[in-house]
Amino acid sequence: MAEITVTPQSSLADRPVQVQVRGLSPSQLVTLRASLTDEQGERFQARAFFRADAAGEVDPGRHAALGGSYAGVWPMGLFWFLQPDTLFRRLVKRDVAGSPFLVRLEVFDGLRLVTGPQDQPLASCEAERWYMGPGMQRVPIREGRVRGALFLPPGPGPFPGVIDLFGGAGGLIEFRAGLLASRGFAVLALAFFAYDDLPRALTQLDLEYFEEAAELLLRHPKVRGPGLGVIGVSKGAEVALSMATFLPQVVATVWINGTAFLHGNPLIYKDLRIPPIPYYTERVLFTEVGALDNSAIFADPRDPAYSASAIPAEKIRGKVLFVVGEADRSFNSKLFAELAMARMPPESCRLLSYPGAGHLIEPPGSPLCSISSIRGTPRPVVWGGEAQSHAKAQEHSWQEIVQFLELHLGPAATMKL
C-alpha cells in the first residue's frame, strides 16, 4: 500500500518539512500534488512528476522532479511553487492567529497533468502551515492614532521590538509579523492607510504617526529598548528608510525593494516637508496579459531636478540592510538601494541583491507572485521574478533578515514548531 507522509505534520510556514512516499513499485511513475484553499476560497496547487527509486520510494528532498510545477531537486518545491487556479491571485494568510493553511498532499499513479474529482489518489495526508507559534499573543492596537496588531512571543520577555510595514495597497497585512514574532521578536504590524479609521488613500507620509507607533511599541512592558527595528517592503521600505533617517529610536532597518526618494506623496515631519517626485502614470505599459507594468512611471532619481525629494540617508545613525530583487518590475530597486548607500558610511549598510528575484520578496513558503490584483488599480500589476531564483532569494534573505535584527537589537527567543 502506498503511503505519503509530511514531517513535521504541523509547522511554521517559513520552516522546511520533509515529504516522503513509500510503498510504490520500483520505477513507478507518479504525480505528487499539493493543494490548499485560502480564506477567500481560492485554490492554489503545485504538482510534480517522479519515478520511484528501487525501494519504491519518492523523496523530493533527494529525488529530482522530472517535470510539473518545477523540475530538479527542491525539497520544498510542492510548497514554494504553488500557483493559483485563477490568474493574478496572491497567496496571503489573512487570519494569522486563528488557523493554519491546510496543505493537502496526494500521490497519484502515472502522469496526471490535471486531476478531477474522479481521480482517486493512491494515498494522501495533510500538513498544517502556521503563521504564529504556540503560546503567542495577537493584540489588536487602537491607541491614539496608531492602528495595527502586536504579536508577542510567549513568556515574560522583554523581547526586541520590530515595526512591520507593507506597501501601496494599504490595509493591515500580518503574516510576516506573525512569523517574525515566532522567531522571538515583539512585532507591531502597522497599518498607515486604508484600514479602520485611517485615511482611505495615502496623501502624505506623516512621520509623526510612525513616531507615535515607535513610542507606543517601546513603552510596552514586554519590549526591550532602547532601540527598535523596522522592516518594510515597497512603499513600506520608503517609510522605513525615512523612519531610520529621522527617528533616533530606529536602530536597525530592513528595506526590501523600496525607493530612496519620496514618490507621489510628500513627507511631513514637524516643520520639515520633503516634496515628492511625481508619478508619470501616462508612461504605464500594458503587458501581453493585460497587466500594468509600472516600471516606467518612475522618473530618473538622478535628475538634479529631483534632488530635494531624496531621503537624507546620511542622517541615519543605525544600520540598514537593503534587500533587492534584480528582476523587480515595479521599479529599479537596485538603483535606489545604491543611491541611498552612496549617502551612508559603508559600515552602516549592507546590500543583498538577488538576480531573478521579483518585487514581492517574502518569507520562504510564500510562492512567487509575479502579477496580482491590488486595491486601487484597475488592472493587475506586474511585480516580476522567476520562480526558482525568487524562491532561493526568499530562503536566503529571510535567514539574513532574522540574523541582522538579532545582531543589532539583541538576541531573540526562538520558538519551535
Contact in structure between 131 and 180 (CB atoms under 8 Å) = no
Q: How far is CA 238 from the centre of its chain?
A: 16
DSSP letters spanning 242-304:
HHHHH-TTEEEEEEES--SB-BSS-EEETTEEEPPBPP-GGG-EE-TTS-EE-GGGS--TTSG
Specify the 3-state DSSP secondary structure of 341: helix
Contact in structure between 396 and 109 (CB atoms under 8 Å) = no
Specify the 3-state DSSP secondary structure of 13: coil
Q: Which three cell numbers stand for residue 134?
A: 504556540
Catalytically annotated residue among 359, 366, 370, 389: 359
Per DSSP (E only), the strands in 10-158 are 10-12, 18-22, 29-37, 43-51, 67-68, 83-84, 101-109, 123-130, 137-143, 146-152
Residues 6+ apart with CB under 8 A from 256: 231, 232, 233, 234, 237, 323, 361, 397
Q: Which three cell numbers stand for residue 255?
A: 528595506
Task: Please confirm, yes or no, whether 234 is among the known catalytic residues.
Answer: yes
Catalytically annotated residue among 309, 328, 333, 370: 328
Task: Please confirm, yes or no, whether 300 is among the known catalytic residues.
Answer: no
Nearest to 179 by CA among 169, 191, 192, 164: 164
Distances (CA, A) of 158 to 161, 226, 289: 9, 11, 50
Contact in structure between 284 and 293 (CB atoms under 8 Å) = yes
Nearest to 340 by CA among 305, 306, 296, 310: 310
Radius of gyration of the chain (CA): 22
Task: Please confirm, yes or no, whether 14 is among the known catalytic residues.
Answer: no
Catalytically annotated residue among 11, 69, 182, 234: 234
Which residues are designated catalytic? Answer: 234, 328, 359
